[in-house]
Amino acid sequence: MSDITREQLVHLAELAHLDLTEEELDRVSGELDGILKTVERVQEIRTEEVPATSHPVALHNVFRDDVVRGVLEQQQALASAPETESGQFKVPAILDGGSES
Amino acid sequence: MNPDHMIRLTALQMAEELNKTTFTSVELTKAHFDHIRQIDGTAQAGIHAYLHLNEDDALAVAAEVDRLRAAGGADAAALHPLAGVPIAIKDNIVTSQQPTTAASKILEGWMSPYDATVVQKVRDAKLPVLGKTNMDEFAMGSTTEYSAYGVTRNPWDLERAPGGSGGGSASAVGAYMAPLALGSDTGGSIRQPASFTGTVGTKPTYGSVSRYGLIAMASSLDQIGPVARTTADAAALHELIAGHDPKDSTSLITEWNDLASAAQTRDLTGVRIGVLEELQGSGFSEQIQQRFDEALQLLRDAGADVVAIDCPNMSYALPAYYLIVPSEVSSNMARFDGIRFGNRVVPEADSTVKEVMAATRAAGFGDEVKRRIILGTYALSAGYVEEYYGSAQRIRTLVQQDFARAFENVDVLISPTTPTVAVPLGEQVSDPASMYANDVATIPANLAGIPAVSIPGGMAEHDMPMGIQIQAPATRDAVAYRVAGGLEALLEDKWGRPLYQQAPEATTAATAGRQD
Amino acid sequence: MATKQLPSIDEALAAFDPVLGFEVHVELNTATKMFSSAPNGFGEEPNTSVTEVDLGLPGALPVVSFEAVDYGIKLGLALNCSIAETCRFARKHYFYPDLPKNFQTSQFDEPIAFDGWVDVELDDGAIFRVEIERAHLEEDAGKLTHVGGTGRIQGAEHALADYNRSGIPLVEIVTKPIVGAGSRAPELARAYLMTIRDIVRSLDISDARMEHGNLRCDANVSLMPKHADHFGTRTETKNINSMRAVKHAVTYEMQRQAALLAEGKTVTQETRHWHEATRSTTAGRPKSDADDYRYFPEPDLVPIHVDQAWIDRLSAALPEPPHQRRKRLKATWGYSDEEFRDVVSADVMDAIEETIAAGASPAAARKWWMGEIARLANHAHVPIADIGINAEHVAELDGLIQQNIINDTIARQVLGHIVAGEGNPREIVENRSMAVVSDDTALTRAVDAVIEQHPDVVAKIVGGKTQAIGALIGPVMKTTGGLADAGRVRQIIIEKLDLNG
């Protein structure tokens, strides 16, 4: 593990859709290096044979019956939106097609 | 009974007096609002525990309880024991009909169209909701200084932080601005503020309390829990909010009806108490260690079996936590993009959606949130997920195994809740890494999903309170309450009164400026 | 690009072998969404089939629909897949305004079904086995409408987001690379998609209507030089919205890539968009390292364990594979190759099977579904399944004909009345008094009247021109409103004019 480069940081900010100022990039870069030095201790112990725990309390097969329950009124759904039009959420122009499914 | 006396009762005492009609819920609720107005102040001066007050709705609920009780009969008998006792709610728990901001600018003015399951339970039990309490933005922080709406101050010393992220709930309860409050604990956000404000706070077993409607920080660690002045009050509130919720897939199907009685057992004879070697001594302040040792002696004298316990992997808990948390944070924060809810920032008239999202998030999130998003994005991005998140999840298994081994020999584990007392405001903001180190004793319980209660353990450096943490095996929350209640009684006998009564009287008269 | 002459398929294949791959998304027809109890509806008012979960509001948590998992396993079994003993959901992160949480809850390294195959029947009956890599559960995204400009994404002023579709359960079926199809690759593409459609319909887990987006297909196409030992660079064509389009899209991509390679150029790895109007594809987003989805296990959901009992229960109820079923039905019904192919392509095989089960003969069932009912549907511009006539109607209609209560002419009218919503055939015939008149008293009276009115015709008949009887039957039919049994009328006329003697 190495320090995060400036280029990497810019890429991360882009992935996270977060506009960082030059000043923020400088500061975060220093802070992250410090934090990474702390957290890289996780690799000190050999953990290959140890299973990963994603949930603190192991449950499985938690399902919901396929029964329709209440929905939001259209007005409720749209109430908190910054902009709406014709019962829909108004979204600024999308230039690049990117949906996956 | 005069209002000043009323608000100083414990929640269970209030419930008893309400039942005896010594005073009404409207009187009790008004007394709290009067006290809040008197001492809570603003972001600039005072404690500033509340972000929003809910007076009309709270008084309407109180009046309904009074009416039902006065009418008598089946409806009065069916009232929840805590009906009419006011409560405060941390602002990352969604409430319909009053704002929920999680102390972030990005949610300023947001009104949830639905109630969190715990809020629904509180409403069903007819506890007047006083308002929403301050916190670190999205619960990321240990001092409540990362609130976008200004700091909360510690009632014991207004120059010091109340802890975090739930500094608002702890300060409100500690300064008699609410007898009960709800908090959320991801790595100590209930227990550490409890420790810093001389109050009681519990992180329940993961899955004991529904997370539905809790604005997620790190989903696999977050748990809503009670904040109170006594163990018995905390246990009673825990019983009220606990239980299986079909809307939360990680919710446990377990009965939680023995918590309040366990908190009042008092008998500690034969209880096996393990002292975590890794969570004392070096790094822990001298007076905190002294108070802790004195507490151990009290426990021995009361017939408990106190033994040393070794958990070798505990020291890895902190680094693992600080990988799991930002990873999940970077994911959970993604939905805040200014499309469906919240505030939108449009940098230029013809900005694309991508530019709008990035500007919205840049303006809406504070420094600590941004820091964690970037760190988490890094930890999850190509080439690092196994190295970071994967390793951290494996360490989580090791920590669980440590606890499991420990609990083969003891009923509970005990340690100081924090290594130091509350820090002066401003000190940790300048050094994020020191903030993380403060959570060393509270984080392992979140990683393992086990319950942990923090109770006041006495006074330490700078005349500030310190806390003692009791951890129990998963789903054995009652055992933690039994030991916490027992130790609390021993300490109060020794002190002659509860610790919270030793807090200096808050007299801030700053009244201007709150939005309610 | 469009003006340039592309090589023919044969030219394209002279030097290259095509390698195909398909990602098919199947929208499941559960009552509720994958992770919320909102109705799984289509075409409602925008943003009315949503809960806080589907909008990704703060604090909302997902809960898995049991039915969706059950459907996923059924489909996995029908695709001859292994079913995972344990599987999980993961979060796939990318920011896009149709995705409320800016991550899609999907399955990543632990799909519910994997390593299967499906036999695809080509037009000449030949079977081509397609290997399935995996089938996994995930949620659909919302729907964006681009406003302003041309209505396309480029040049639009803004977009509108409707999240009714957000969270509808999907199964994504991913094939292994398909090699060896050669010149039949386009035909195979269409046949594969039809096979998947037939399977999901036979399982009754999806409406599988491509025009409704219930079934969506992305086609991966690459060319490799003949005898090469590794695949060429592939493209992924999206937005394919019909069975026909997948065939054309594969054809076009093979030709386009062959032209590039023939000129010594390289194929760019990218997504491409299919355009029905021009039957061509255009470049979309290049695939790059930026596609960093930061998958990690969904912490708000717990793992799914599938035990043998669960698998056994679903296996036992699995329907016969579609191509086996077609083979059996064709033999049982005795249809010719051509008749059966027409029935299949008219999409009435199921209807005919049900009609026969309800009591009609195979010939009658085919006659009505391929004849008058198809005509009515065509006339109304609706799919035959939506015309409002079911198998019971047709069987009942056939029964009425067999009992001489109505004739074919009347039966056709009855079908029209069914479409108009007047009820079942028996009701219609009764309410409208359409039963063929076979009551001799009434018929005899009608015949008497006609004989009296047409003495000249009677004279011809009696004079030996018996074929003129038709000239009397017609008026009788007319006076009875077409309800008379023509055979009986003839009989009565013969008796009346004493022609038998």
Averaged pLDDT for residues A86-99: 80
pLDDT reported for residue A101: 43
Active site residue B454: no
Question: What is the phi-psi region of residue B9: left when phi exceeds 0, alpha when psi lies from -120 to 50, beta otherwise?
Answer: beta
- Subunit contact A89:C160, Cβ cutoff 8 A: yes
Measured at the alpha carbon of residue B116, what is the angle toward residues B110 and B121, in degrees to the nearest 5?
Answer: 140
Rounded distance between C-alpha atoms, residue C229 and residue B236, angstroms: 71
Tell me how close the Cα of C222 comes to any Cα of chain B, in angstroms. Answer: 26
- Subunit contact A80:B342, Cβ cutoff 8 A: yes
Rounded distance between C-alpha atoms, residue B17 and residue C335, angstroms: 88
pLDDT tops 80 at residue B383: no
- Which residue in the set A85, A96, A101 is minimally distant from C104, CB to CB? A101
Cβ–Cβ under 8 Å, residues B437 and B419: yes
A20 inside 8 A of chain C by CB? no
Confidence of residue C153 (pLDDT cuts 50, 70, 90): low
Grouping H, G, I as helix, E, B as strand and the rest as coil, residue B123 is helix
pLDDT reported for residue A100: 45
- Which residue in the set B102, B113, B212 is minimally distant from C61, CB to CB? B212
Averaged pLDDT for residues C258-287: 88
Averaged pLDDT for residues B77-98: 97
A57 inside 8 A of chain C by CB? no
* Least-confidence region, from B343-347, B500-504, C463-467: C463-467
My answer on whether B230 and B344 are in the same domain is no
- What are B315's two structure tokens? 């020291």
Tell me how close the Cα of B296 comes to any Cα of chain C, in angstroms. Answer: 38
Please tell me which residue, C309 or C125, carries the higher pLDDT value: C309
- Subunit contact C58:B94, Cβ cutoff 8 A: yes
Percent of chain C at pLDDT exceeding 70? 96
Active site residue B165: yes
Searching chain A, which residue's CA lies closest to the CA of residue B345?
Answer: A82
Searching chain A, which residue's CA lies closest to the CA of residue C68?
Answer: A66
- Subunit contact B353:C64, Cβ cutoff 8 A: no
Site of tokens 């006998």: B493
pLDDT tops 60 at residue A1: no
| pLDDT, chain A, mean | 86
Residue B160 DSSP one-character state: B
pLDDT in tens, C18-31: 999 999 999 999 99
Q: At B82, which CATH number?
A: 3.90.1300.10
- Subunit contact C294:B331, Cβ cutoff 8 A: yes
- Subunit contact B354:A32, Cβ cutoff 8 A: no
- Subunit contact B433:A38, Cβ cutoff 8 A: yes
Q: Which residues of A touch C51 (CB under 8 A)?
A: 69-72
Confidence of residue B450 (pLDDT cuts 50, 70, 90): very high
Asked whether residue B485 is domain-assigned, the answer is: yes
Averaged pLDDT for residues C393-419: 90
What is the separation of C-alpha B510 from the centre of its chain, rounded to a whole number of angstroms?
Answer: 26
My answer on whether B262 and B328 are in the same domain is no
Tell me how close the Cα of C58 comes to any Cα of chain A, in angstroms. Answer: 12
pLDDT reported for residue B203: 98
Domain span at residue B323 reads 315-386
Tell me how close the Cα of A55 comes to any Cα of chain B, in angstroms. Answer: 6
Asked whether residue A29 is domain-assigned, the answer is: yes
Asked whether residue A24 is domain-assigned, the answer is: yes
pLDDT tops 90 at residue B240: yes
Cβ–Cβ under 8 Å, residues C438 and C406: no
pLDDT reported for residue C288: 58
| pLDDT, chain B, mean | 94
* Least-confidence region, from A4-13, B272-281, B423-432, C386-395: B423-432
In chain C, residues 21-80 whose CB comes closer than 8 Å to chain A: 25, 30-32, 37-39, 45-52, 55, 63-69
- Which residue in the set B218, B249, B336 is minimally distant from C301, CB to CB? B249
- Subunit contact C292:B381, Cβ cutoff 8 A: yes
B165: preceding bond cis by omega (within 30 degrees): yes
pLDDT in tens, C283-310: 887 765 457 899 999 999 999 999 999 9
Rounded distance between C-alpha atoms, residue B482 and residue C368, angstroms: 79
Confidence of residue C77 (pLDDT cuts 50, 70, 90): very high
Cβ–Cβ under 8 Å, residues B84 and B64: no
My answer on whether B221 and B350 are in the same domain is no
Q: Which residues of C touch A57 (CB under 8 A)?
A: none
CA atoms within 13 A on the CB side of B403: 28
pLDDT reported for residue C298: 96
pLDDT reported for residue C151: 64
Searching chain B, which residue's CA lies closest to the CA of residue C299?
Answer: B220
pLDDT reported for residue C1: 44
My answer on whether B296 and B338 are in the same domain is no
pTM: 0.88
pLDDT tops 50 at residue B512: no
My answer on whether B210 and B356 are in the same domain is no
Searching chain C, which residue's CA lies closest to the CA of residue A89?
Answer: C161
- What are C414's two structure tokens? 């009855």
Residue B243 DSSP one-character state: S
Helices (H), ranges, B152-310: 167-174, 191-197, 231-241, 259-263, 286-301
Confidence of residue C2 (pLDDT cuts 50, 70, 90): very low
pLDDT reported for residue A97: 53
Question: 3-class secondary structure for B202-219?
Answer: EECCCCCECCCCECCCCC
Domain span at residue A19 reads 6-43
C299 inside 8 A of chain B by CB? yes
pLDDT reported for residue C480: 74
My answer on whether B430 and B351 are in the same domain is no
Sorted by where each starts, the structural domains of chain C and their CATH numbers stand as 9-295 (no CATH), 321-431 (no CATH), 440-496 (1.10.10)
Rounded distance between C-alpha atoms, residue B452 and residue B466, angstroms: 16
Determine which helix (DSSP H) or strand (DSSP E) holds A11, and give its type and residue range: helix A6-15
- Subunit contact C49:A71, Cβ cutoff 8 A: yes
Averaged pLDDT for residues B3-12: 97
B316, B360, B377: which to substitute to probe chain A, counting the most A Cβ within 10 Å? B377
pLDDT in tens, C319-347: 998 888 888 999 999 999 889 988 988 88
Averaged pLDDT for residues C111-123: 95
pLDDT reported for residue A96: 62
- Subunit contact B357:A17, Cβ cutoff 8 A: yes
Asked whether residue A25 is domain-assigned, the answer is: yes
A62 inside 8 A of chain C by CB? yes
CB pairs under 8 A between A and B: 178
pLDDT reported for residue C48: 95
A17, A32, A47, A49: which to substitute to probe chain B, counting the most B Cβ within 10 Å? A17
Distances (CA, A) of C304 to A59, C74, C492: 9, 15, 76
Total number of domains constituting chain A:
1
pLDDT reported for residue C4: 63
pLDDT reported for residue B515: 42
Active site residue B189: yes
Q: At A22, which CATH number?
A: 1.10.20
A65 inside 8 A of chain C by CB? yes
Q: Which residues of B touch A94 (CB under 8 A)?
A: 352-354
| pLDDT, chain C, mean | 90
pLDDT reported for residue B245: 98
Searching chain B, which residue's CA lies closest to the CA of residue C153?
Answer: B352
As a whole number of Å, the CA-based R_g of chain B is: 22
- Subunit contact C57:B340, Cβ cutoff 8 A: yes
My answer on whether B321 and B459 are in the same domain is no
Amino acid present at B372 = R
Searching chain C, which residue's CA lies closest to the CA of residue A16?
Answer: C95
Q: Which chains form contacts with chain C, at 3 or more CB pairs under 8 Å?
A: A, B
Rounded distance between C-alpha atoms, residue B336 and residue B344, angstroms: 10
Averaged pLDDT for residues C335-362: 91
Q: Annotated catalytic residue: which of B25, B104, B142, B165? A: B165
- Subunit contact A52:B370, Cβ cutoff 8 A: no
* Least-confidence region, from B225-234, C276-285, C358-367: C276-285
B94, B184, B339, B346: which to substitute to probe chain C, counting the most C Cβ within 10 Å? B339
My answer on whether B304 and B333 are in the same domain is no
A41 inside 8 A of chain C by CB? no
pLDDT reported for residue C43: 65
Rounded distance between C-alpha atoms, residue B363 and residue C439, angstroms: 89
Please tell me which residue, B59 or C429, carries the higher pLDDT value: B59
pLDDT reported for residue C354: 93
Q: Which residues of A touch C55 (CB under 8 A)?
A: 72, 77
Q: Which residues of B touch A28 (CB under 8 A)?
A: 370-371, 374
Q: Annotated catalytic residue: which of B25, B112, B169, B189? A: B189
My answer on whether B306 and B327 are in the same domain is no
My answer on whether B17 and B32 are in the same domain is yes
A45 inside 8 A of chain C by CB? no
Q: Which residues of A touch B436 (CB under 8 A)?
A: 35, 38
Last residue of a domain, one of B325, B353, B386: B386
- What are C467's two structure tokens? 């074929």
pLDDT in tens, B296-320: 999 999 999 999 999 999 989 999 9
- Which residue in the set A68, A78, A91 is minimally distant from C37, CB to CB? A68
Confidence of residue C438 (pLDDT cuts 50, 70, 90): low
Nearest C-alpha neighbor of B194 from the set B501, B469, B490, B429: B469
CA atoms within 13 A on the CB side of C115: 4
B389, B394, B403, B434: which to substitute to probe chain A, counting the most A Cβ within 10 Å? B394
C288 inside 8 A of chain B by CB? no
- Subunit contact B365:A18, Cβ cutoff 8 A: yes
Total number of domains constituting chain B:
2
My answer on whether B265 and B357 are in the same domain is no
- Subunit contact A93:B365, Cβ cutoff 8 A: no
pLDDT reported for residue B509: 46
